[in-house]
Amino acid sequence: MPKKHRRAPLTSATRDEGDSFWSARESAQPLAARMRPTSLEEIVGQQHLLAPGKVLREAIEKGSVSSMVFWGPPGSGKTTLGRLIAQYTEREFVPFSAVTEGVPRVRELIGEAEQRLQMGRQTILFVDEIHRFNKAQQDAFLPHVESGTITLVGATTENPSFELNNALLSRMRVFVLNPLSSEAIGEVVDRALAETDRGLGKLALKIDDDAREIITREADGDARRALTVLEAAAEFVGEKGTITASVARDAMQKRYAHHDKSGEAHFNLLSAYHKSLRGSDPQGALYWMARMIEGGEDPMTIFRRSIAMAAEDIGLADPQALQLAVAARDAFHMLGAPEGYLPLAQMVIYLATAPKSNASYMGLTAALEAARVTPAAQVPMHIRNAPTRLMKDLGYHEGYQYAHSVPEAYIPQEYLPDELRGSVFYQPGPFGFEKEVAKRLAWWADLKAKVSTQASPRGDKTEVNNESPARDSPDEEMK
């Protein structure tokens, strides 16, 4: 049954009374662990979930929480929320890591939860990195979530749509946690510097504005990272010391791009890169390409997407785009990194600034659909191959006209089966080289309209004089 009254958050007074929260062991924890919020009011950020009146906050305060998944980046508060749910709803908090423990341990914890439930206390089973369990292993939770033996709270940095099986996902609510803003990280840093019980307040440290700005910005929304850097800087400057920008940078060390080469971030960055190219934005395309390179992406992945984009989104508007993309890939193979990044960048800029057309893609799609609809359409007799006397007697090749027998190398005749006469699969776009293609197609269509191309059952019987009808020169027409 939902609780009508929530348990009061822990305070320094309750700690003085011997609460296990503030044990000697915990006082030796890293700063990030010591500064973990002990009440909803202490949490910064995530106001879309935790502001007064929001569904999650209401559920926590009323004690009516059900199984759920927290999906968000590192340091956004997933574990903290799991602990606070247990605290506010007066349930046992049982942490579990899918990285270091397996299904046998799950069975042990379920057994303990059943015993606890018989004594009237419910259990929050908090599964960190739940996506590390494969979808078959996740089935171990199903009956116990269904029966109410445990309230399952999962934490993941990966998209639950891909990482959790549908049966489990349908029994859990998904809450998305956002990276913390620089302002929110700043609050965390200021609190850690001022807090004397759990933070660094007893050291009486000072921090320069530019040092604070470096930490809050380069933490990349990760409160744990910001506090780890702050603690390292504090150890360096010592009591009553001043944390400068130089100290902050040394403590920060190297920032790593948010990229995992296999999960959702991988596909999101590739998507952003492709859409920037398609949208003719070389600035965005260069940035997302650089993000992937800095994140350790295989450059061949970027080249493959670029070659596909050149064919799909540029096509014949600029026929050199595909050639240049292939040449850039070959140049990278020859040069390697870092020299090979220059042809990569040149390719990115060229593709982003090239005229765009998806006419080839649309033409292929339409032709494939027509092929599916008419899989048995007969090849017109006049364009069939006739290597034997029998085939010639049957009318194969009869009426075919050789295009090069006229100066223009074009004689109007039908090449589609009867069922598809008049079908148009490819329509050139209005930009780049396709403007010239459109002129040629229009000129040929005009010639074809002047000549009947009706087929007969035994071939094309249309009589066409060797002297072709009066034509304007295609070169003249295109000028």
Contacts of 100 (CB under 8 A, 6+ apart): none
The three-point CA angle 8-44-125 to 5° equals 60
Name the residue among 329, 313, 256 with its Cα closest to residue 429: 313
Q: How confident is the model at residue 460 (pLDDT cuts 50, 70, 90)?
A: very low
Lowest mean pLDDT among 44-53, 296-305, 339-348, 388-397: 388-397
> Rounded to whole angstroms, how far apart are CA atoms 166 and 136?
11
| CA 10 to each of CA 22, 37, 77, 311: distance values in angstroms, whole numbers, following the listed order | 10, 10, 18, 61
> Rounded to whole angstroms, how far apart are CA atoms 344 and 285?
11
Enclosing H/E stretch for 479: none
pLDDT for residue 467 is more than 80: no
Sheet harboring 68-71: ordered strands across? 92-97, 123-128, 151-156, 68-71, 173-176
Counting every residue, how long is the chain?
479
Enclosing H/E stretch for 351: helix 341-353
Provide the pLDDT for residue 263: 61
Provide the pLDDT for residue 6: 46
Provide the pLDDT for residue 133: 85
Lowest mean pLDDT among 93-102, 356-365, 392-401, 454-463: 454-463
Provide the pLDDT for residue 461: 38
Q: Are 451 and 412 in contact (CB under 8 A)?
A: yes
What are the residues facing 470 on neighbouring strands? none
Structural domains of the chain in order of their starting residue, each with its CATH number = 36-176 (3.40.50.300), 264-353 (1.20.272.10), 387-478 (no CATH)
Provide the pLDDT for residue 267: 84
Longest distance between any two alpha carbons in the chain, whole Å: 110
Q: Which residue has the higher pLDDT, 152 or 267?
A: 152
Provide the pLDDT for residue 466: 38
Mean pLDDT over residues 365-388, rounded?
Answer: 89
Provide the pLDDT for residue 21: 39
> Rounded to whole angstroms, how far apart are CA atoms 293 and 301?
10
Q: Are 405 and 411 in contact (CB under 8 A)?
A: yes
For the chain, what is the HEC assignment?
CCCCCCCCCCCHHHHHCCCHHHCHHHHCCCHHHHCCCCCHHHCCCCHHHHCCCCHHHHHHHHCCCCCEEEECCCCCCHHHHHHHHHHHHCCEEEEEECCCCCHHHHHHHHHHHHHHHHCCCCEEEEEECHHHCCCCHHHHHHHHHHHCCCEEEEEECCCHHHHCCHHHHCCCEEEECCCCCHHHHHHHHHHHHHCCCCCCHHHCCEECHHHHHHHHHHCCCCHHHHHHHHHHHHHHHCCCCEECHHHHHHHHCCCCCCCCCCCHHHHHHHHHHHHHHHCCCHHHHHHHHHHHHHCCCCHHHHHHHHHHHHHHHHHHHCCHHHHHHHHHHHHHHHHCCCCCHHHHHHHHHHHHHCCCCCHHHHHHHHHHHHHHHCCCCCCCHHHCCCCCHHHHHCCCCCCCCCHHHCCCCCCCCCCCCHHHCCCCCCCCCCCCCHHHHHHHHHHHHHHHHCCCCCCECCECCCCCCCCCCCCCCHHHHHC
Residue 292, phi then psi, degrees to nearest 5? -65, -40
Lowest mean pLDDT among 82-86, 142-146, 271-275, 468-472: 468-472
Q: Which amino acid is at 313?
A: D
Q: Whole-number mean pLDDT of the chain?
A: 84
What are the residues facing 155 on neighbouring strands? 70, 128
> Rounded to whole angstroms, how far apart are CA atoms 446 and 442?
6
